[in-house]
Amino acid sequence: MKKLSKLYVSLVLLFLYVPIFVMIVFSFNTTKSRSVLSGFTLEWYAKLFENELILKSLGNTIIIAVCASIISTLLGTLAAIGISRMGKFGKATVLGINNIPIINPEIVTGVSLMLLFVFFKARMSMEFGFTTLLIAHITFDVPYVVLNVMPKFRQMTPHIYEAAQDLGCGPFKSFIKVVLPEIMPGIISGFLMAFTFSLDDFVISYFTSGPTSQTLPITIYSMTRRKVSPEINALSTIIFVVVVIVLVVKNIMERRSLNVKKYADDDSAEIIE
C-alpha cells in the first residue's frame, strides 16, 4: 500500500514537472529545435537580457503588482473593519458583491472593465495604460484581502476592543494596540495573495492594458504568437528558479517561526502554571 501510494504521488509529480524540465533542458540547447539536443549554450539567456521589451514589461509587472497589492490591502482591510460592524443584512449584501470578481469568469471581468474604461476614455480622456491596469488589478485583488481579513475579526476575542477602551485607551489607540495585531496575519496573507495574483494575471490585463503598460504575461502571450525563440525557454527557467528560491526561503522561515512559536508557547504555559 505504502509503495503504491508513493508510486502514485511520483506519477502525478512527473506529470506536473515534465513540461517544466523539458523547457529547462531545451533552454540550453544550441539549435532552435524542440526535440533534438545538439549542444550546450547560454546564448538564449544572453539574448533574453538584451531584450528590452521583456525587461520593460517585467518592470511594469512588478510596479503594477506592488502598487495594486498595497492599495488593495489598505482598501480591503478598512472594508473588513467596516463590514464586521455591519448588521447581518448589510454584511451579507456586501460580502455577496465582494464575491463577484472571485466567482465571475476572468474574461467577463476583463471585458466588463474594458467597456467601463472605454466609456471613461470617451468622456474623461482617461487613456488605457497604467491607470486602467492598476484599477483593474485592484478590483480583482481587493476581494481576496477582504476574505482573508474578515475571519480574523470572527476569531478575535470578543469585547477585547471595549476592554481596551475601558482601560483608558482612545478608540484609535485601542484599535492600533489591540485590534491590528489580531488581524495582522490576515492582512499579510491577503497582501501576498493580491501580490501573486497581480504578478500572474493575463486575462484581465489583456483587456485593460494600453500600449504603455504591457505586462510580462502580455509580452509572453505575444511571443507565443510569433516566431518563437528559445529565449522563452530561458525566461521560463529563470522564473522557475526564482520561484523555487522564494518558496524554499519562505518555507524555511515558516518552519523556524513555527519552532520559535512553539518554544514561546511552552514558556508561557510554564509561566501560567
Partner 1 sequence: MTLKRFLTVFLAGCIFAGCLTGCGSNKAAADISVEDTEYYQKFKDDGISINVYNWGEYIPDGADGSVNINEEFTKLTGIKVNYSTYATNEELYAKLKAGAANYDIIIPSDYMISRMISEDMLEEINMDNIPNYKHIMDKFKKVEYDVEERYSVPYTWGTVGIIYDKDTVDLSEDEIDWDVLWNSEYKDDILMFDNPRDAFAIAETMLGYSLNTEDEGELRASAEKLKEQKSIVQAYVMDEIFDKMSAGEAMFAPYYAGDAVTLMSEYDNLGFVMPKSGTNLFVDAICIPKGAKQKEAAEMYINFLTEPEVALEIAEYIGYSTPNAATFELLDDEIKNDGISYPDDEYLDMHTTVFKNLSPEANKLMQDLWTEIKSDK
Partner 2 sequence: MDKKFNIGQKLVASPYIVWVAVFVVVPLLMVAYFAFFGDEGKFTLEYIKSVGQYSDIFIRSIWMAAVATIICLLISYPLAFILSRMSKKTQSTMLMIVMLPMWMNFLLRTYAWMTLLGNEGLINHLLGMIGLGPFKMLNTVGAVILGMIYNYLPYMILPLYSVMEKIDPSVLEAASDLGCNRIKAMFRVVVPLSIPGIMSGITMVFVPAISTFIISRMLGGGGNMLIGDLIEMQFLGNAYNPNLGAAISLVLMVIVLIIMAAMHQLDSSDDDRVLL
**Nearby residues of 87 by Cβ (< 8 Å), 6 or more positions away:** none
Cell representation of residue 172: 484609535
Q: Are 183 and 80 in contact (CB under 8 A)?
A: yes
Which positions lie near partner 1, rule CB under 8 A? 32-34, 47, 49-50, 52-53, 55, 58-59, 62, 114, 117-118, 121-122, 127-128, 184-185, 188, 191-192, 207, 210-212, 214, 222, 225-229, 242, 245-246, 249-250, 253-254, 257, 260-261
Which among partner 1, partner 2, none contacts residue 180 (Cβ within 5 to 8 A by kind)? none
Q: How many CB atoms lie within 10 A of CB 73?
A: 25
Instruction: Decide: is 124 part of the binding site for partner 2 (CB under 8 A).
Output: no
Closer residue to partner 1 (CB): 85 or 225: 225
The region that residue 3 occupies, defined by phi over 0 for left and psi between -120 and 50 for alpha, beta otherwise, is alpha
Question: Residue 171 binds what, of partner 1, partner 2, none (CB under 5 to 8 Å, by partner type)?
Answer: partner 2
Give the shortest CB-147-to-partner 2 separation in angstroms: 6
Binding mask 148-187 for partner 2 (x = CB under 8 A): x--x----------x--x-----x----------------
Rounded Cα distance between 219 and 27, Å, is: 18
User: In the bound complex, what is the minimum distance in angstroms from residue 98's beta carbon to partner 1?
Assistant: 24
Binding mask 10-39 for partner 2 (x = CB under 8 A): --xx-xxxxxx-xx--x-------xxx---
Tell me whether residue 108 or residue 176 sits nearer to partner 2 (CB atom).
108
Find which of partner 2, partner 1, none residue 260 binds, CB within 5 to 8 Å per kind.
partner 1
User: What's the full length of the chain, in residues?
Assistant: 273
Q: Quick one: three-class SS letters along 43-111? A: HHHHHHHHCHHHHHHHHHHHHHHHHHHHHHHHHHHHHHHHHHCCCHHHHHHHHHHHHHHHHCCHHHHHH
Return the SS3 of 229.
coil
Q: Cα(149)–Cα(84) distance, rounded to whole angstroms? A: 10
Residue 38 contacts which entry, partner 1, partner 2, none (Cβ below 5-8 A, type-dependent): none
Q: Which C-beta is closer to partner 2: that of 184 or that of 228? A: 228
